[in-house]
Amino acid sequence: MELSRGVLVTGAAGQLGVALCEEFADSAVAGLTRTEWDVSAPPPRELPGVDVVLHTAAWTDVDGAETHPQEAAAVNVGGTQHAAELGAPLVVFSTDYVFDGRKGEPYVESDAPNPLSVYGRTKLEAEAAAGEDAWIARTSWLFGWTSTNFVRTMLRVGAERNEVAVVDDQRGCPTYVGHLAGAVRELLDRPPGVWHLAADGDCSWAEFAEAIFEEAGLVCRVRRIKTEELARPAPRPPYSVLRSERPGAPRLPHWREGLRACLDRLGLESAEAR
Ligand SMILES: NC(=O)c1ccc[n+]([C@@H]2O[C@H](COP(=O)([O-])OP(=O)(O)OC[C@H]3O[C@@H](n4cnc5c(N)ncnc54)[C@H](OP(=O)(O)O)[C@@H]3O)[C@@H](O)[C@H]2O)c1
């Protein structure tokens, strides 16, 4: 896609928003934070005309959505409707949490969604609200060098303690926002519709935590626990590995490569490189 008129990124202060603003810095990129456009309200009139809208703004507090379903829907569903009203080609970001995790093998685009949580339901409704001409990029377990995410939390915890309890019965694809942003650029040259864009490989959260400590050279034992021990309000799919069945789907590097890239970005050399 030619990007002569520029790119609009919503949720620009979020971890994916930051990565997309960086990826498209060679085009005129307008990144709007929540202060500049609260997407639960219609778009401000003075927005510039653009070639594409990359809509990342979302209610991402999965547990909080259980007790605030209307607020979560206003941002996720209403916000996507408002982004579609801009009338420009639109990319929206959806989630592995639209699936129930019972399939036991990788989910592809034609698999039937069945979200377990309020968050997952609002994201599925958002897919419909995006319209038939939109790209729906389903991704999973995002991490990057900004915002609160699992990698940054484990780096902090691993530096403070010598043991951490992490769930070992949820499996997915931890996806580095830098790699996802590169795949989004490729996606713009593919037809619209649902696309699964997640890192290659898969792991449990406990395995991911162990890899983070190993790569960062931190000595912290991972005690493997079951999801039910955490008693979180929102149910999570036990298995939500995403793969694409579509010809020409952008391929992302393995999650471990993403982890190394993220640590480099955070200024930490991986233990292997030392
Ligand atoms: N994180 C994941 O593991 C994951 C997995 C699959 C799909 N996704 C999807 O990927 C997209 C990006 O996620 P992310 O990880 O980058 O999330 P994030 O870091 O939580 O960023 C979301 C951004 O949206 C903003 N936002 C929240 N409510 C808003 C509103 N009403 N109006 C405008 N902006 C609002 C937030 O602003 P504040 O900081 O001010 O709240 C934040 O900057 C989302 O659509 C998410 O559902 C995420």
11 Cβ below 6 A of ligand 1: yes
Give the Cα separation of 18 and 229 in Å (integer): 34
Determine if ligand 1 sits within 6 Å of the CB of residue 59. yes
* Contact status, residue 14 vs residue 147, Cβ threshold 8 Å: yes
At 126 the three-state DSSP class reads: helix
Catalytic: 107? no
Q: How many CB atoms sit inside 10 A of residue 235's CB?
A: 17
- Tokens describing residue 98: 């639209």
Ligand 1 contact via 155 beta carbon (within 6 Å): no
β-strand partners of 175: 142
E runs forming strands in 61-143: 90-95, 135-139, 142-143
Joined together, the tokens standing for residue 224 give: 């493997």
Smallest CA separation from ligand 1 atom 11, residue: 56
* Mean pLDDT, residues 187-203: 98
- Ligand 1 proximity of 58 Cβ (cutoff 6 Å): yes
pLDDT, averaged across the chain: 96
- State the helix-helix crossing angle for 177-187 and 15-23, rounded to 10 degrees: 50
> What pTM does this model have?
0.96
In the structure, what pLDDT confidence band is assigned to residue 14 with cuts at 50, 70 and 90? very high
The reply to whether ligand 1 has any atom less than 6 angstroms from the CB of 13 is yes
Q: Which residue lies with its CA nearest to atom 12 of ligand 1?
A: 56
Distance 56 CA to ligand 1 centre (A): 6
Tell me the CA–centroid distance for residue 272 and ligand 1, in Å.
32
pLDDT tens track for 142-165: 999 999 999 999 999 999 999 999
How far is the centre of ligand 1, averaged over its atoms, from the C-alpha of 116 (Å)? 19
| pLDDT the model gives residue 271 | 52
User: What radius of gyration do the chain's Cα atoms show?
Assistant: 18
**Per-residue pLDDT tens for 119-140?**
999 999 999 999 999 999 999 9
Ligand 1 binding pocket includes 208 (Cβ within 6 Å)? no
Residues 221-235: tens digit of each pLDDT: 999 999 999 999 999
Band of residue 268 on the pLDDT scale cut at 50, 70, 90: low
Nearest to 59 by CA among 115, 8, 121: 121
Count the Cβ atoms, other than its own, within 10 Å of residue 187: 20
Q: Whose CA is nearest to atom 32 of ligand 1?
A: 38
- State residue 45's pLDDT score: 86
Parallel, antiparallel, or unpaired for β 52-55 and 90-95? parallel
Around Cβ 159, how many Cβ atoms within 10 Å?
12
Separation of CA 17 and ligand 1 centre (Å): 8
194: β partners: 136
What spacing in Å lies between the alpha carbon of 99 and ligand 1's midpoint? 19
With a cut of 60, say whether residue 269 has pLDDT above it: no
Q: Whose CA is nearest to atom 38 of ligand 1?
A: 34
- For ligand 1, whether the C-beta of 60 sits within 6 Å is yes
**Calpha distance 67→73 (Å, rounded):** 12
pLDDT of residue 156: 97
The angle that helices 255-265 and 150-160 make with each other, rounded to 10 degrees, is 70
Tell me the pLDDT tens digit for each residue of 32-86. 999 999 999 999 988 888 999 999 999 999 999 999 999 999 999 999 999 999 9
User: Could you report the per-residue pLDDT of 15-30, keeping only the tens digit for each?
Assistant: 999 999 999 999 999 9
